[in-house]
Amino acid sequence: MHRNNIVKLLTLLLLTVTISVKAQHDTHNETPVEDAHSGKDIKTEIKEYINHHLLDSYDFTLFSYTNDAGEHKYIGAPLPVILWDGGLQVFSSSKFNHGETVAEVNGNYYKVYHNKIYKTDAEGTISYDEAHHPTNAKPLDFSITKNVVFIFLVGLLMLFMFSKMAKNYKKSAVPTGLGRLLEPIILYIRDDIAIPNIGKKHYKRYMSYLLTIFFFVWIINLLGLTPLGVNVTNNIAVTLALALMTYFITTFSGNKDYWKHIFWMPGVPTLMKIILAPIELLGTFIKPFSLMIRLYANITAGHIVLMSIIGLMFIFKNWIGSPLSFGLAFALSLLELLVAALQAYIFTMLSALYFGSAVEEHDHH
């Protein structure tokens, strides 16, 4: 199983995805969920809650409620905020009180506004330009957000699974424990994905990456279906990081035949070669782009549809509509379990297909 290679690739995967999720976290807007005292209709509240659920956050919240005094209470745990603002500023996200208060750190004041951290004053003043965009200074943000935490947790889980499986194989050739579940999946990836698409001569070079990417995407997708509110693969920066890894491996492992068929296709008239070369080169960028969009769009759409159906229960509030919505949401949840595995399979299959095209050897006569 090339345990050392899997560990190295998993470490690289975690670092790449962690950096990218921070970039995407800075591009989203967060809309707080309003309570019943806000005066907003239930449809607006549901829409805002769905938008909020899809976003990353600076703290981990299990659930929230409104007490008799009308105060919104959150049950969860704060996460570390790491900023660079004339020096390293490290503090707990509890200082923000879920974006409701201004955090004072070493004489500096920071405020979470639309899911970004801005430098402000003690009153939390936000200035705007003509397009109503904030003009406050933004410190460099290296905070450990909720998505980053679960990326590392999944990485540690995978490291534990594969390490334990490797130790069991040292004792016996017959899989035991977790190996009984993992071995059929690993053999399927090898025999039905890697070898047919890459070939027996080269497939071993890519098995570590294919196993890592499959289990990472699958487990992350499954976590997204739990009440934990973890939505890592509906973050387009994460899917971009995964797609870029496939692109770079394909690009740097491509042989001379691969590049020859891109820039100067054999057996094609010279004029057509000149026309087709830029198209073929563009195709090398379209492939990882399709990987990125496919994973992002399918997972995001599934979350939106599922939560919209759940929200119908609060709109109907009757003995016909609510049970019907619940049943439909339950059926869709079962379908999402299939989608979670299917998207991991598709990403792994297409990656293997791209690797196979990069190392394919041609006999030119």
* pLDDT recorded at residue 219: 93
For residues 16 and 73, membership in a common domain is answered with no
For residues 191 and 307, membership in a common domain is answered with yes
* pLDDT recorded at residue 51: 67
For residues 12 and 77, membership in a common domain is answered with no
Helix axes 204-223, 321-359, angle to 10 degrees: 170
- Which residue type is seen at 187? L
Residue with tokens 């490290």: 90
* pLDDT recorded at residue 24: 47
The 3-class SS string of the chain reads CCHHHHHHHHHHHHHHHHHHHHHHHCCCCCCCCCCHHHCCCHHHHHHHHHHHHCCCCCEEEEEEEECCCCCEEEEEEECEEEEECCCEEEEEHHHHCCCCCCEEECCEEEEEECCEEEEECCCCCCCECCCCCECCCCCEECCCCHHHHHHHHHHHHHHHHHHHHHHHHHHCCCCCCCHHHHHHHHHHHHHHHHHHHHCCCCCHHHHHHHHHHHHHHHHHHHHCCCCCCCCCCCCHHHHHHHHHHHHHHHHHHCCHHHHHHHHCCCCCCHHHHHHHHHHHHHHHHHHHHHHHHHHHHHHHHHHHHHHHHHHHHHHHCCCCHHHHHHHHHHHHHHHHHHHHHHHHHHHHHHHHHHHHHHHCCCCCC
For residue 27, being part of any structural domain is answered with no
CA 175 to chain CA centroid, Å, is 31
User: Can you give the C-alpha Rg of the chain in angstroms?
Assistant: 24
For residue 53, being part of any structural domain is answered with no
- Which residue type is seen at 355? F
For residue 132, being part of any structural domain is answered with yes
Predicted TM-score (pTM) of the model is 0.80
For residue 61, being part of any structural domain is answered with no
For residues 166 and 115, membership in a common domain is answered with no
For residues 207 and 341, membership in a common domain is answered with yes
β-bridge mates for residue 72, sequence order: 66
* Size of the chain, expressed as the number of residues it contains: 365
Spatial distance between the Cα atoms of 345 and 359, rounded to a whole number of angstroms: 21
For residue 221, being part of any structural domain is answered with yes
For residue 180, being part of any structural domain is answered with yes
Spatial distance between the Cα atoms of 242 and 295, rounded to a whole number of angstroms: 10
Structural domain span for residue 72: 66-144
Spatial distance between the Cα atoms of 359 and 349, rounded to a whole number of angstroms: 16
161-194 per-position pLDDT tens digit? 888 888 888 887 787 778 888 899 999 999 999 9
For residues 335 and 263, membership in a common domain is answered with yes
For residues 186 and 313, membership in a common domain is answered with yes
Q: How many domains does the chain have?
A: 2
For residues 126 and 17, membership in a common domain is answered with no
Collect the ranges in the chain with pLDDT lower than 70. 1-41, 43, 46, 48-54, 63-65, 70, 229, 317-321, 362-365
For residue 51, being part of any structural domain is answered with no
